[in-house]
Homo-oligomer: A and B are copies of this chain.
Amino acid sequence: MIKAAILGYGTVGSGVYKVLTMNRESIAARVGEEIEVAHVLDLREFPGDPAEGVLTHDFNDILSDPEVAIVVETMGGLKPAYSFTKAALEAGKSVCTSNKELVAEYGSDLLKTAAEHGVNYLFEASCGGGIPVIHAINEALTADCIMSVSGIVNGTTNYILTQMGQAGQSFSEALADAQKLGYAELHPEADVEGYDAQRKIAILSTLAYGRFISYKDVPVKGITEVTKDDIDAAARIGGKIKLVAESVRIEGGVSASVAPAFVGPEKMLYNVDGVMNAVALEGNAVGDLLFYGSGAGSLPTASAVAGDVVSIARTPKGAAYPNNWGCEKAELVEPGEEVRPFFVRFAGSLDEAAAAFGEIAKSAEADGEADILTAPMAGKEADKKAAAAAGKVIKMYRA
């Protein structure tokens, strides 16, 4: 019997309790012994809930229980998640979390603490919800050099953009809907301004390249300025607007960013709609891979956390679970060097647009504007062309 404790009995925490309970047998078969949730920490009461009997309001009940080997941190935020995680690791307990804020901010520190105390700090659920992309980087693509990471890693914004495209809603209508359905929070800045995606791409890149990338250094643009007109214009040439987080190894370092982008129908990301997420990895041997699944939600995220619990339960005491996190800082290069097409809404004719941006891959004309997909060019060059076209560029998105 292996004892675990859950910190925070919200959406994800209660999901972890549920997964560990409903799949108790198959998990025990994989681990070789049963995993029991011995404590659940939350300030609230949960009368009648299955976890009621193990509920505590005092973290010390968990910290001081020598039988608890694994702590699940699903509180979110930095306080008190950081001090609780640190204390658990220092007490010789491994920790699994879904908390991307904490991993992005204190990942290096907490991994170091874990190593010093012969335990592990795992965070599969911090990126892409239930999609096992961190396992893939740490355990599967170990013979590859990963060259780029990109994806749709925020379900809230993807839901809003999908609704704007499919249901013809404005940004604020779609946001209100998302809030009603529980996909967006009352204060949605972390999602709609791209800050959540920024943390996730920083975490994924740190693992992929084995060098530390601070989320604070990743340029971010959210979706608040994406209009229904932009989405309609993209649709006229067969595309969609998606919030894409990406990083790429280039000469001199790594370029990382989060921004809304034009996605054409030939791309796998094109069909990633609603609250679904997808992460693409490019390895120098394996080529292009894509992982698709639920990026949020109680059980999908809990599946990833509970999978980490199993990973720890199967790791011999004192052994390190594979982790490619790098603490040494990566050289970050300003985005602008990567060569790719751009989607431009141009106030003018197709001929004028072609004169401004050169070769055109796809185009449509409507309501006095030309909607074009340019030939591939460096971001810097596209910016220069847009500046030269003065007030003619209504909007420009990378593609």
Contacts and interface: CB of A to CB of B under 8 A. Distances in A.
Contact of A210 (B29, B291, B304): B29
Contact of A311 (B23, B139, B145, B324): B139
Contacts of A310: 142-143
Given A143-B27, A270-B271, A286 B311 contact: no
Given A271-B270, A293-B290, A285 B142 contact: no
Contacts of A107: none
Contact of A135 (B140, B267, B297): B140
A139 B124 CA distance: 12
Interface residues of A, number: 57
A20 B143 CA distance: 7
Interface in A228-245: none
A399 interface: no
A253 B267 CA distance: 37
B271 A285 contact: no
B285 A306 contact: yes
Chain copies in the assembled complex? 2
A302 interface: yes
A286 B292 contact: no
Interface string A89-133: 000000000000000000000000000000000001000001110
Given A140-B124, A210-B29, A271-B266, A303 B316 contact: no
Q: Which of A30, A142, A271 has the most CB of B within 10 A?
A: A142
A172 interface: no
A224 interface: no
Given A136-B136, A291-B291, A144 B303 contact: yes
A142 B286 contact: no
A287 interface: yes
Contacts of A304: 140, 286
A13 interface: no
A132 B143 contact: no
A23 B290 contact: no
B23 A144 contact: yes
A268 interface: yes
B292 A289 contact: yes
Interface string A280-313: 0001111111111110010110111011011100
Nearest to A132: B140
Nearest to A280: B292
Closest 8 pairs between A and B when the two form their complex, measured CB to CB: A132-B140, A143-B306, A285-B303, A286-B303, A130-B286, A135-B140, A142-B310, A289-B293
27 contacts: A18-B285, A19-B143, A19-B285, A23-B284, A30-B322, A30-B324, A130-B286, A136-B140, A140-B304, A140-B307, A143-B303, A143-B306, A267-B271, A268-B268, A268-B292, A283-B303, A285-B299, A285-B303, A285-B306, A286-B293, A286-B299, A286-B300, A287-B294, A287-B299, A287-B300, A289-B293, A290-B292
Interface of A: 15, 18-20, 22-23, 26-27, 29-30, 124, 130-132, 135-136, 139-145, 210, 266-268, 270-271, 283-294, 297, 299-300, 302-304, 306-307, 309-311, 314, 316, 319, 322, 324
Given A26-B210, A285-B300, 12 more contacts: A30-B322, A30-B324, A124-B140, A130-B287, A136-B136, A140-B307, A268-B292, A270-B271, A286-B303, A290-B290, A290-B291, A291-B292
